[in-house]
Each structure stands twice: as C-alpha cells, then as structure tokens.
Amino acid sequence: MSRFLLIAFILILFTGCRKNEHIADDRYALLSIVPVVNTDEATIAHHQSYINLFKIGIQVTNSYGTELYFPYTKNLLLSNSDKWVLSKPVCLSVIQAKIYAYYPYTSSEESISGIGETAFVFINIPKEQAMASQTDYMYASQSTYLPNGNEPIYYANPNVTLELSHALSLISFVIFKEDFSGPGELSNIEISDKSNLSGLTINGSGGEKLSMRLANGNIINGSTSSKISVNSVQNSITETVDPGVDEAQLKTMVNGYMYVVPALFLDRSNVQFALTIDNKVYTITHTGEGELRWIKGYQYIYKLRLTATALTIVGIIITDWDVNYSGEIILR
C-alpha cells in the first residue's frame, strides 16, 4: 500500500488530480473538509457561529489510522477565507481515508507526534491563567464523510463534514446577590482539591508533557496540582433573585468559567471553590458525598448565592455546552 500511495502522490503533483494518460479512470477526487462543532457541546467562544475563525490541524491517514495517506498529510492546516481550504491538496483514490483533527492548530512539528490512532498534540494548561487566555482544546477522529453515517471517505465521497468535539470539561458559575450591598465585582476563581492525590491536572513540571490524543480527545501525562485558577475575570454580579433551574436561561447568565482537564475526585468534600468578589475571598466546599467526576464535553453550572456574609452553592446543573459570557473572550 505504501508504494501505491507514493505513486499516487507523484501523479497528483503532475496532474492535479485530473484524468490524463497516466490515470485510467476517474476514481480520483480532491478532499474537501467543512468543520462543524458538535451540537451537543457548543461552548462559550466556540459556538458554530465562530467556527470560520478556527485554525484547525488536520491529519489524513488510511482507514485504520496506521499509515499516512501521503507523506505530507501529518499536519495540514485547515482554515477559512471565504471557504475552507487545506494548506496542501489531498487527492483521494480508491483507498479509504480517515481524518484526525485538533484545535487550535500548531505549525510546530515538535508539538504533534505519532500517526492516526497513536497521534497526540501537546497542550498548555497552566496552574494560573487569565480568563480570556484559556484555550478550548478540540479534536476529531472520523472515517465517514458525515459525522453520523457509515459511508467511507474516498474518491466517491470527497466532501467531508468533520465534527469537532471538546476535550476539556467546562466549570462555570452563575451567581445571584441576596442582601448584598456591594458592587459584586468578580475578579478571580480558584478550584482546589485538598486530598493527598489531587484530581486536578496541569502542565507537567518534568517528564512527559500534557498531551491530547487525536483519536479520542483523552488528555494524558501532565502533573497533578492542589489548585488551579483564572484571574482577570472582570465580571459584575447583577442578578438579585434566584434564576431558577432552566438550563437555557442559566447558560446566558454565567459570571465566570474555567476549562479543566476531565477529573475524578474520590471524595467531593475535598473540592473547594474560592471566588474573589469585591476583593474579598469567599471559599465554598463542594456539596454532597462520594466521588465527583468532571467529564469531557460537559458543562457543570454551579449556581451560587452571595450574601453579606457568605457564598453558598444552591444548585448544580450538568448539561451540554452552550454559554453566553459577558466578559472579554479571545479566540485562540
């Protein structure tokens, strides 16, 4: 198969994927990719309406994910300028293909390693970061030309709709004031785990770097941390009544959020939130008993009540991602 692919690659260079004396039939077509965001996971900055701003890394392999379709298809750039275009054309033949993708794109060859099912890209999740600097890491692994279908990607199906999913969990907070006279300026959010072996993960201090697998979005390696935080939230708490439990409404009322590596906490009472409001730190212990799991692609909305003396959890909603946030958001 490798020899056949090499011959096909040479033909592409000279024929532009068109039939001529070297090609006996019309069983060749240029690969076209249009990305979409998983509709069950549309998130704050990366809702479908923003997708034309994406810079996406693309790897094209055989249908088994064991060999590159062509030697140059390890790390292509997919970007939009009136239409979606790959940085180099890929000519599909009778050989079925599989597409692996990641967001945001990196041109550094040192940042992506492996092929197909073993491919991963290094990611950056520091212990502390600014609110608007958080990165929503995404991935895709698809061997069909539609996300929900069974038709393979090859010359007869060259136009692919590629569905991107989220590799991280989204922890968000909706806060309302009750008998609170201050302006309610939220500036910092911290999550901590008081257990001996924390469930929180950040960049590695040494050894294997924090990485995302392209095949399934799993986050590997890195180091545990007792706490993580975001600063420069710059959000004003304005709600004065309990907003209820309607998911659609709560998603439009988020005061601050944090992307975290999917986590398992054996005892949820060890998990604490510390929010700085009007320069005062309010610390909350997670409610309930038993283990707590934050799963990739899910949004966890913590509804909080702020009074003159305390901040308390009054509800937890687990849902798909679709949030509006009133602070500054920078797409990365």
The pLDDT tens digits of the residues spanning 105-130 come to 999 988 999 999 999 999 999 999 99
Note whether 2-166 and 169-319 share their fold: yes
Q: Which of 152, 22, 2, 169 is nearest to 92 (CA)?
A: 152
The pLDDT tens digits of the residues spanning 40-56 come to 544 444 445 578 888 99
Encoded tokens for 80: 């939009």
pLDDT at 40: 58
CATH code assigned to 2-166: 2.60.40.2620
CA-angle at 33, arms to 16 and 329, nearest 5°: 135
Q: In terms of C-beta density within 10 A (0-12 exposed, 13-18 middle, 19 or more buried), how is residue 327 classed?
A: middle
Count of other CB atoms within 10 angstroms of residue 9: 16
Name every residue whose Cβ is closer than 8 Å to that of residue 140 and which is 6 or more positions away in sequence.
35, 99, 100, 101, 102, 162, 163, 164, 165, 214
Domain ranges of the chain: 2-166, 169-319
CATH code assigned to 169-319: 2.60.40.2630
User: Is residue 22 helix, strand or coil?
Assistant: coil
φ, ψ of residue 249 to 5 degrees: the values are: -70, -45
Name every residue whose Cβ is closer than 8 Å to that of residue 178 and which is 6 or more positions away in sequence.
240, 305, 306, 307
Encoded tokens for 188: 């910092």
Contact 96, 65 (CB under 8 A): no
Distances, alpha carbon 72 to alpha carbons 33, 80, 90, in Å: 17, 20, 9
Query: What's the chain's Rg over C-alpha atoms?
Result: 23
The pLDDT tens digits of the residues spanning 203-238 come to 988 778 999 999 999 999 999 999 999 999 999 999
Encoded tokens for 155: 């010359």
How does DSSP classify residue 254? B
pLDDT at 53: 86
Q: pLDDT under 50 in the chain at which residues?
A: 1, 5-6, 10, 13-14, 19-24, 41-47, 322-332
Which helix (H) or strand (E) segment holds residue 34: the answer is strand 32-37
In the sheet that holds 311-319, the strands lie side by side as: 256-260, 169-177, 299-306, 311-319
pTM to 2 decimal places: 0.87
pLDDT at 18: 57
Region of 176 please: left (phi>0), alpha (psi -120 to 50) or beta. Answer: beta
